[in-house]
């Protein structure tokens, strides 16, 4: 329970078939999770490994991002068999085409964007929608393409205010009376962007920050199926004696690359989707 914090405190509970029955459509995690400053230190990593081995745990499945996988690697070095399953709405883990939670977050954010589209068109307004993504723009990009946004602003691409203003002007010249900008939170706060646009071009923009609503709710079918496939693959591989791997979706096939792939390489945005925003947004 409670992620790495639970490992340090020996907070282990057996789970039977009845304990996990009926949870496939639930969001969040029944195991709970927590950030752990203690686990960053070697002595606490030793303790966590000792607790696991002492409890007779034959394999540990860690669900999360590259930070969680680095923690799993430390446990592997201490004799614990580990597997990683990529779970993050950011979809920024290298080695896998898709992470658990991403598609659900896209659908959740897109639902809000389409509702905002309705009011934007009714009132001839410019809307800025801030979505999650401190260091990556995968979520913002997918939402922008699916929502027909006039522009998307992501950490991977250098922001240029002049280029954005030119694009908004061009949209107006082509007869668009309302516009939508999707902004990844890691670039700048949406309110700052609104002020810069208003000061430079005079557009009265409205801001919506979706925040943690993107992290909750029942998972979509894509995520349910992906989680089921990855979970089964991780357990089967551990049972076969494998360790130090992550489950990954590559060309719709489950692969098992080493954990270090997740932090040794940076996953790039799809340039085709970036181009589509440019083409379809005007």
Residue 78 to residues 56, 70, 71, Cα–Cα distance (Å): 14, 13, 11
Looking at CATH, the fold of the domain delimited by 3-101+219-264 is given as Rossmann fold (3.40.50)
Q: What is the pLDDT of residue 278?
A: 84
Rg for the chain, CA atoms, rounded = 21
What is the pLDDT, as a whole number, of residue 251?
A: 95
Tell me, what's the pLDDT at 122? 63
**The pLDDT of residue 279:** 82
Domain-wise residue ranges, the chain: 3-101+219-264, 103-216
Residue 207 structure tokens: 């801001």
> Phi, psi at residue 84, to the nearest 5°?
-115, 140
Q: Residue 247 has which token pair?
A: 């489950």
Q: What is the pLDDT of residue 192?
A: 96
Write the class of the CATH domain 103-216: alpha beta
pTM assigned to the model: 0.91
Which positions of the chain have pLDDT values less than 50? Answer: none
pLDDT of 52-87, one tens digit each? Answer: 999 999 999 999 998 999 999 999 999 999 999 999
Helix (H/G/I), strand (E/B), else coil: 208:
strand
pLDDT at residue 27 in the model: 80
Write down the pLDDT at residue 121: 66
* Rounded distance between C-alpha atoms, residue 124 and residue 134, angstroms: 30
In this predicted structure, what is the pLDDT of residue 79? 96
Active site residues: 90
pLDDT at site 282: 55
Burial class from Cβ neighbours inside 10 Å (0-12, 13-18, 19+) for residue 125 reads middle
Which of 47, 32, 278, 21 lies closest to 149 in space, CA to CA? 278
């Amino acid at each position: 329970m409670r992620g790495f914090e639970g490992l340090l405190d020996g907070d282990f509970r057996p789970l039977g078939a009845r304990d996990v029955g009926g949870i496939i459509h639930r969001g969040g995690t029944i195991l709970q999770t927590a950030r752990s400053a203690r686990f960053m230190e070697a002595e606490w990593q030793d303790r966590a490994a000792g607790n696991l081995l002492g409890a007779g745990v034959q394999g540990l499945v860690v669900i999360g991002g590259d930070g969680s996988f680095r923690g799993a690697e430390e446990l592997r070095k201490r004799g614990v068999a580990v597997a990683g399953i990529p779970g993050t709405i950011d979809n920024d883990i290298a080695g896998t085409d898709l992470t658990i939670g991403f598609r659900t977050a896209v659908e959740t954010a897109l639902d809000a964007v389409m509702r905002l589209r309705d009011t934007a068109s009714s009132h001839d307004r410019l809307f800025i929608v801030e979505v999650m993504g401190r260091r990556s723009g995968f979520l913002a990009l997918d939402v922008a393409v699916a929502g027909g946004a006039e522009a998307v602003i992501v950490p991977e691409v250098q922001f240029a205010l002049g280029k954005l203003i030119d694009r908004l002007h061009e949209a107006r010249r082509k007869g668009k009376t309302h516009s939508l900008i999707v902004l990844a939170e890691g670039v700048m706060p949406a309110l700052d962007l609104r002020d810069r646009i208003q000061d430079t071009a005079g557009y009265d923009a409205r801001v919506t920050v979706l925040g943690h609503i993107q992290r909750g709710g029942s998972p979509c079918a894509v995520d349910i199926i992906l989680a089921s496939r990855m979970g089964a693959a991780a357990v089967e591989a551990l049972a076969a004696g494998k360790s130090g791997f992550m489950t990954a979706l590559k060309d719709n096939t489950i692969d098992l690359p080493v954990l270090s792939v997740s932090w040794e390489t940076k996953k790039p945005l799809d340039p085709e989707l970036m181009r589509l925003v440019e083409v379809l947004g005007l």
